[in-house]
Amino acid sequence: MEEALASNVIGTPSMRQDSHGPIGVFDSGIGGLTVLKALMARLPHERTLYLGDTARVPYGTKSSEVVTRYSLKNAEFLLERGIKLLVVACNTASAAALPALSATLPVPVLGVIEPGARAALKRTRGGGVGVIGTPGTIRSGAYQRALEAGQPHVSVKAKACPLFVPLAEEGWTTGDVPLLVAREYLAGFARDGVDTLVLGCTHYPLLKGVIAEVVGPGVSLVDSAEATAEAVAELLGARGLLAPESSTAPEHAYFVTDVPERFVEVGARFLGRPIPSAEQVDLRF
Ligand code: DGL
């Protein structure tokens, strides 16, 4: 398996990283734009390349083997374009593929799970931490492990909330429908002594309002996207890879594996700014 993975990916461990290179970000589709948004806000001088695997979305209901295979292909595409660091914006891909990606790529790789878990551990007062995500993320136990490792006082309650993804993509983020769904998924959290809830899916920050309404003011919401942007800033700083400050705005390029129209339209809502264009690419599986 290791050999197959290594031969799948272009690059060698001695590849030089250059502070001028872009940050590569991939996701199963549109959702990772919430992570890109946080990155752009935290690191306004960085160039970015974003790949949304819109031909194969969703990852959240697929097996970890398949998600790992897709993730390695996505990483290979970005690596060929000279990225200095890879951000796995997709929670499901972070949960399934981070060890394979870190072992194979010649650039630093950051997922969203460790930063999100670390932020939650800093935030919790009583040790009751909830995590919500796709079925794949929750089934993997990745957040649960990251939260519980060496933390005997922490107890984790995890729940898959698959309907939140289509609701966010349809723009149904306020009103009765998302509120009913959120009640169904989240009613038990406050009752079970959870004081901190990790939004462990790229789409969930869009539903922050209804989630907060259901869990109540006593539960603090942790957005993995912001925690990840902070972790990226720290890592680039520590390795001397931060882009030099410049008076001209950095370039941001977008690639998708299906036709770009829906990505450009819906993605603007996730990114909080217009996406001028996206290029369709064929990853040749
Ligand atoms: N990007 C995925 C995640 O954060 C959600 C969408 C999907 O299932 O592919 O887990």
Burial of 175 (0-12, 13-18, 19+ CB in 10 A): exposed
CA 78 from chain centre, in angstroms, equals 16
pLDDT at residue 15, rounded to an integer: 53
Mean pLDDT over the full length of the chain: 93
How far does residue 246's CA lie from ligand 1's centre (Å)? Answer: 34
User: 52 is written with which tokens?
Assistant: 């949304």
Q: What is the DSSP string of 33-86?
A: HHHHHHHHHH-TT--EEEEE-TTT---TTS-HHHHHHHHHHHHHHHHTTT-SEE
- The yes-or-no verdict on residue 9 having pLDDT over 50 is no
User: Does 90 qualify as catalytic in the annotation?
Assistant: yes
C-beta of 57 in contact with ligand 1 (< 6 A)? yes
**Contact yes or no for 50/34 (Cβ under 8 A):** no
Question: How far, in Å, CA of 113 to CA of 136, rounded?
Answer: 13
C-beta of 137 in contact with ligand 1 (< 6 A)? yes
Marked catalytic residue, from 90, 147, 236, 266: 90
Domains, the chain, ordered by start: 2-111+227-280 (3.40.50.1860), 114-224 (3.40.50.1860)
User: 209 is written with which tokens?
Assistant: 């309002």
C-beta of 59 in contact with ligand 1 (< 6 A)? yes
pLDDT at residue 12, rounded to an integer: 46
- The yes-or-no verdict on residue 14 having pLDDT over 80 is no
What letter does residue 206 receive in the DSSP assignment?
G
pLDDT at residue 136, rounded to an integer: 97
| Lowest mean pLDDT, pick from 12-16, 207-211, 262-266 | 12-16
Mean predicted confidence (pLDDT) in 246-269? 96
The closest-lying atom of ligand 1 relative to the alpha carbon of residue 32 is 1
**Contact yes or no for 124/153 (Cβ under 8 A):** no
Marked catalytic residue, from 97, 190, 201, 236: 201
- The yes-or-no verdict on residue 11 having pLDDT over 80 is no
Letter string b/e over residues 52-73, b meaning 16 or more CB atoms within 10 A of that residue's CB? bbbbbbbbbebebeebbbbbbb
pLDDT at residue 68, rounded to an integer: 98
User: pLDDT category, 69, cuts 50, 70, 90?
Assistant: very high
Q: What is the pTM of this model?
A: 0.93
Question: How far, in Å, CA of 254 to CA of 271, rounded?
Answer: 12
pLDDT at residue 18, rounded to an integer: 83
From 25, 28, 163, give the residue whose CB has the most ligand 1 atoms within 8 Å, as the site to mutate.
28
pLDDT at residue 61, rounded to an integer: 96
- The yes-or-no verdict on residue 7 having pLDDT over 50 is no
How far does residue 204's CA lie from ligand 1's centre (Å)? Answer: 10
Q: Is 79 left (phi over 0), alpha (psi -120 to 50) or beta?
A: alpha
What number of other Cβ atoms are within 10 A of residue 191's Cβ?
7
User: Does 161 qualify as catalytic in the annotation?
Assistant: no
User: pLDDT category, 191, cuts 50, 70, 90?
Assistant: confident
C-beta of 199 in contact with ligand 1 (< 6 A)? no
The closest-lying atom of ligand 1 relative to the alpha carbon of residue 59 is 9
User: 85 is written with which tokens?
Assistant: 């660091």
Does an H or E element contain 255, and which? Answer: strand 252-256
Sheet holding 279-280, edge to edge: 109-111, 85-88, 23-27, 48-52, 252-256, 279-280
How far does residue 15's CA lie from ligand 1's centre (Å)? Answer: 30
C-beta of 173 in contact with ligand 1 (< 6 A)? no
pLDDT at residue 2, rounded to an integer: 37
- 161: nearest Cα among 88, 112, 220, 211: 211
| Lowest mean pLDDT, pick from 8-17, 22-31, 207-216, 225-234 | 8-17
User: pLDDT category, 16, cuts 50, 70, 90?
Assistant: low
How far does residue 165's CA lie from ligand 1's centre (Å)? Answer: 7
User: pLDDT category, 3, cuts 50, 70, 90?
Assistant: very low
Helix (H, G, I), strand (E, B) or coil at 22: coil
Mean predicted confidence (pLDDT) in 234-255? 95
Spell out the residues 6+ positions from residue 66 whose beta carbon is closer than 8 angstroms to its own.
none
- The yes-or-no verdict on residue 6 having pLDDT over 70 is no
- The yes-or-no verdict on residue 226 having pLDDT over 90 is yes
pLDDT at residue 215, rounded to an integer: 95
Does an H or E element contain 60, and which? Answer: none
C-beta of 224 in contact with ligand 1 (< 6 A)? no
Mean predicted confidence (pLDDT) in 139-157? 96
Q: What is the CA radius of gyration of the chain?
A: 18
Question: How far, in Å, CA of 209 to CA of 215, rounded?
Answer: 10
